[in-house]
Every structure is written in structure tokens, then in C-alpha cells.
Amino acid sequence: MDVSECESRTEEETMELQHFSHPHPLVFFKYQTVASKEVDPEAARCFGCENPLEDGCYGCNQCKFYLHKGCAELELVPQIQHPFHPQHPLTFFPQSPYLGEYVCGLCGGIFWGFVYHCDSCLFDLHINCALLQSSIATNFPNSLHHHPLHFIQNHNEEVERDCSGCQKPLSGPIYHCFDCSYPTFFTLHKKCVEDQPIEINHSCDRKHPLTLLPQRPAHPEKCSCYLCKIQWSGFVYSCSLCNFEVSVDDIFSPPTITNASHEHPWMLISKKMSFICDFCGIVGDHSPYLCATCNLVVHKNCISLPRNIRITQHCHVICFSYSFQQNQVEDCMCKICQTEVDTSYGRYCCSASGCDYIAHAHCATNKSIWDGTIIKEGYDEKHGPSNLITDVIEQISIEEIMVASKIKHSYHHHNLRLTFSGEIKDDSQCDGCMRPISNPFYICEQCKFFLHKNCAELSKEMGHPFHKHALTLTNSRTLVEYSICNACSHWYQGFSYRCYRRGCSLNFDIRCMLMLNTLNHPSHDHSLFLEHNRQRDCSACSGTMEPWSVAYRCMKRCDYTLDVGCATLPLTAWYKYDKHPLTLTYSDESEPSQLYCDLCEKERRPNSWFYYCADCDNSLHLNCALGDLPYMKLGNKIKGTPHRHPLTVVKNIWNCPPCVECRELCNGQALECKETGCNFTVHWDCCWDLTF
């Protein structure tokens, strides 16, 4: 390396940038990789676009804030008039303008970084999507969609979801509706707009033409037809006179299909006929494919069912089988939907020796369960680093088992010592799960940092039935000072498992991550199982669940449902005027005049859960017993509120001050300003009603 090259390299490595999105100067990292010590791998994502970092980036290691070189050097104007949202100008924010993440109005990704935002419409565009261009589409049939569509010639692979028409991944030019917001986006391939005739004649219905519809006509709730079983939500060709529908994917089918997973060609039988698919066991009513050699009849989509897949509902790879002799199991209940699996048809079974996991083919490959990843033949299940304990400094032997008694953990800068019988203060919380600390636990002897032994040993990466992608263990305070769990909707601090797939950003606190696929809850006589896309009211709180929610449903199909927030409620709580623990109670047969909360003295709803002490006859609302912030660490400071100073999470028991906003007493957890002479206390919810 000559002198001039060396000088150039030294100059680049010491470059600094004062970026408007961060208060500290950002240092340019040119020759350091993300995995090096100089750039923290935990925060190895650009805070602007949220894509993985590359070698050239600007960063502040003190705050763990990093930007791609390209993102840092973007010439972003404070306000733009954008064709995606012509009604109002969009204002730039360096981070989400909401308490939590925002949802991009084009790609549907969940982000917290750079955004253009309309405060009037609550419309948001991720920075990469804001750089795209579009034009208004003309001549699109109103019968298929009643809003105008925007044509985007090149979306730079920003939109990573399925076409609303054919239900296949979007690629190439697209049409998008900006009036249809999360979660009901409407986006189409160019070919699904321009190449689909509104009416066709088809061999499946020789009497009437089939008409293109944007969605299927309503079917009975427990309909067992193929389109209902696979939850088809795309375009269909329909004959209302014959009550017959065909998906757009099936309407144009080749006469022969060859697939590497089957040794013989498949021949199309293009006619209306009833059959049972040998691969998925679901009844079909038209156009099956036949393998005459094997005497198999299958749906078109079932031909391409992958041989080996991994789902987060199970810890091993599962394999597709349509031979009764292979992977025979005694328990033939699908582990996903908890209904019987007919093993005379195809199904997915666990490949591990001695494991009896089994699932319907359509359940295992449901898009809310499986992320589409296919496992190659001969795949060896190898496991990376098991947890975030970076160093075991000392060990002790307990019943001939070596236990780490002094450790170094990734999420704390001091050594931690294991304690089996240490003195525990009443308000001590685990910095991982935020629950009260209990033995055994690790303690920092220099500061108030506690970790349950189990929380210290949590896996670095794991799957969970809540989400189809693998999740990574994260310290939520590294990214932001608090987060909201996407399962139970509680605000929390501490550890969480986060999805780092671009645009996903879902995170789950440790309490929810410990929930299993099945649940025995004392509120109900039968076992409950986890179900995706549950659109019923919760039987405990009567809250309506969103279409994308997960919930626990009764295995006996008695219409009992618990959302995750109610399923994770602690079974006991404490009340300052009661020496006994209060028990979570599920019904109250008292007279209506007695249905009051003993803390806030407001009415209780007769069918809602509450906490109760039978000895003292005390009854409390759930929130009155648990507080507003049960999973926030007492003493932690919160920045970014409308108040001019940082606020501290406190727990008021006696002499509770009034809230500066609503003027009611701040019983339990609240936010308090510790600055001398400020005298400011506010409820969490009221805090965000204050003006900046």
C-alpha cells in the first residue's frame, strides 16, 4: 500500500458527520465489518431504512445508532407533495411519530425509522417507498375495486407480499390502492390487472359464462370446500346460478405438469367433478390432476407441496408423506388445528426419531404458519450459540452438575453472580422478563441489575407459534426505551424476541414467549390451543380481536376464546389495603349494586374478570390491581414524552399525588419528574395526551 492510499484510508476512517436525526456526531466505519467489535452486532441495522448494515456506514457507538452511508447522505426535504398521497403534504420524521412503530402505506412493513408522515390522515411512507414514483391507472373495472389504483413500474422489491388477485408473491410492475390501509392492502401484478378477462367461458361450467369477482361470495362458517380450507382471499371466477367458483390460479391450467418431487407427469382433467385430493385430503369440485401410474388425484396447488419444511410451531423439520406406512403415529390429531388427521391422505410428520408430531398439509403450509422456506434434502440441523452468556468466569458443582456461578452477559457491562437464597426486596424486578425476582437469580453487585437464571440462559434465537419467522433475543432498551408486545399489547421494558425480517419488526415480551401452543387455563374446563387469524371476541374481556391476531380457542369447539393478553394475566395480585393475595376471578354472581371496584370505586362489568380476596371481600378491576405499567422497571427513566424532563417509572402506594392531566390520584405505577421543584406526576395514558 503506497503512502497516498494509506493517507486516503486514514482520512476516510476518521470522517465524521453531524446528522439531523441524531444529537451526536456519527463516525464513518469504512473498513470494519458489522460483526467486528467496532460496530455493535446487536444493533446491526440502519436506523433509517432498517436494512442490515454494510461495511460503509456512519455510527454512534455510544447510542448504538447507525446509518448506511447512502441513508446518511440522502438529501431529505422537511416536507414533500407525493403522488402516493396527493391530498396533503408529507412531513419527514427521523423516527416513528407514534408511540410504537408505524406501518408503511405502500409496502405494509412495520418500521420505526425514517418516515414521511401525514398527521391529518395518519398516512405513512417508509423512506425507500417515498423515493418511488407512480402514475394513476385508468380503465380499471369498478366491479373489481372501487378506489383508484396507482401504477408503479419498479418498486425495487420493496413490496414483499402476495398479489391480491392471484395470491402469488408480487414482482415486476404493480398496481396499488393507497385508500386501502393496513391490514387490508390491495396490490396487484400488472398482468392480473391487464390480462384477466371480466367474463370467460370455461369447460368446468358449460352452461354459463364465469364472471371475475374480487372475492368469493360468502360461504357458511364451517364450510369444508377447498377454497375455504386454504383460506383463499384472491380473485375468483364465479357462476352465481351454479354456486360455483374457481380461483384465477386454477382457471388457466396447463394440460400437463411435471414436478421434481414426483417421478411421473400429472395430467389435467378439465371438468367439473367431485374428488378427494390424495395429498391434502380436502374435497375438490373441479379440474384435478391425475397420475395414472400411481392412481393419485390431486389439486393443482398440491402438486408443488414441498417435501421438507420448518415451521415455528415445531422444533424439528417436518416432512410431507402420502404413504401410510411411513411415519405412522398413534396420535392422529393435527398439532396445529387440533382436529383428526386421516392418514390415508398426505400429511406432514416429524422427521426426528421418536417424535410423533403430525399436521394437515393445508395447516402446515398456511401462510400464517409457514414462511415459505423449503429445507433441502440431507439438511443437517445444526445449532448456533445457545444463549447470550459471553463468558463463564466461575463455576460450582451442584449434585455433580457444573453450574455457572459468575458470568458475563451480553446485555450488562458488569459481571453477574448467581444467588440461590439472597435477600429480595419487594419491588425487585428481573431486568429480562420484568416479573418480580425470585431464586435462583443473577445479581450485579455494582448496580441494581437482576436476571432470573432462566432469563440469563434464554436462547439467542428461537421460533414461536405466535409468528412464522425465527425470532432473535433483544434487549428492548437498546433500540427504544420501551416497546409494546405484539401478542398481549402490554407496554414493557427488558428482554424480548424480535423478528428482524425487513418490514416485519414484530416483537414479543418474555412472558408471552413462554406461552405454549396449548394452554390449560383455570377459567375453562377444556384445553385451549393457539389459533391464527381469530376474528372473535375474547370471552374474558369482550375485546374484538383483529383479523391477524392469535388467540387461544377451546379444543372442544365450545366457542370459548382467550386473547393473549387475558391468557397471560397473573393468577394473583396484591392490594395495599389487603394482607392476602387477590385471586384472578372469572365470574361474579353478586347483586348489580355490589359490582364496584374497592380501589377506584367505579362500577365493574358483571361478566368481566377481576381480582378478589374472599377473606376480606375486596374486589378490584384488573388494571387497578396490576397498575398501568406492570412490566416497566421501577426507577427507569423515560425520554421523549411531552414533558421537558425525563420521567421516572414510580409506584405510588401511600400519599398518591394527583395526575397533572386528569387530576385523579396516581395509584400504583405512574411517571414522575425527579427534577427539583418540578412536582410533575402523570398516568402513562394521560402523558401522551399532553401537548409538546
Q: Which pTM does this prediction carry?
A: 0.84
Q: What is the pLDDT of residues 141-160, one digit of tens each?
A: 778 888 889 999 988 888 98
Task: Say if residue 364's pLDDT is above 90.
Answer: yes
The answer to the question of residue 200 being in a domain is: no
Percent of residues, the chain, with pLDDT higher than 70 = 92
- Residue after which a domain boundary falls, among 457, 480, 511: 457
* Residue 313 shares a structural domain with residue 357: yes
The answer to the question of residue 341 being in a domain is: yes
* Residue 613 shares a structural domain with residue 662: no
* Residue 395 shares a structural domain with residue 359: no
* Residue 37 shares a structural domain with residue 69: yes
Strands 266-268 and 256-257: antiparallel
What's the total number of domains in the chain? 6
Paired strand residues for 284: 275
Q: What is d(CA 580, CA 100) in angstroms, rounded to the nearest whole number? A: 37
By the 8 A CB rule, do 543 and 563 touch? yes
Q: What is the pLDDT of residues 242-284, one digit of tens each?
A: 888 899 888 888 999 998 888 999 999 988 899 999 999 999 9
Q: Is the dihedral of CA 484, 486, 487, 493 positive or negative?
A: negative
Burial class (CB in 10 A: 0-12, 13-18, 19+), 327: buried
* Residue 68 shares a structural domain with residue 93: no
By the 8 A CB rule, do 565 and 554 touch? no
Q: What is d(CA 612, CA 621) in angstroms, rounded to the nearest whole number? A: 9
* Residue 393 shares a structural domain with residue 452: yes
In this predicted structure, what is the pLDDT of residue 11? 47
The answer to the question of residue 656 being in a domain is: yes
In this predicted structure, what is the pLDDT of residue 7? 45
Q: Residue 34's pLDDT band (boundaries 50, 70, 90)?
A: very low
Domain housing 59: 16-73
Contacts of 613 (CB under 8 A, 6+ apart): 575, 578, 580, 581, 582, 583
For the segment 354-372, the average pLDDT, to the nearest whole number, is 92
Cell numbers representing residue 447 in the block? 448496580
The answer to the question of residue 394 being in a domain is: yes
E-strand ranges in 83-163 read 90-93, 102-103, 110-111, 115-118, 123-126, 135-136, 150-152
CA 579 → CA 304, 438, 598, 615, distances in Å? 63, 20, 15, 10
The answer to the question of residue 510 being in a domain is: no
Place of cell 411517571: 671
The answer to the question of residue 156 being in a domain is: no
- Residue after which a domain boundary falls, among 423, 457, 491: 457
The answer to the question of residue 414 being in a domain is: yes
Q: DSSP secondary-structure letter at 481?
A: S
- Residue after which a domain boundary falls, among 131, 150, 170: 131
Contacts of 428 (CB under 8 A, 6+ apart): 436, 437, 448, 450
Q: What is the pLDDT of residues 526-555, one digit of tens each?
A: 999 998 876 678 999 888 877 667 899 998
The answer to the question of residue 162 being in a domain is: no
* Residue 396 shares a structural domain with residue 451: yes
Q: What is the pLDDT of residues 62-85, one digit of tens each?
A: 777 889 988 998 888 999 999 899
Task: Say if residue 398's pLDDT is above 50.
Answer: yes
Task: Say if residue 237's pLDDT is above 60.
Answer: yes
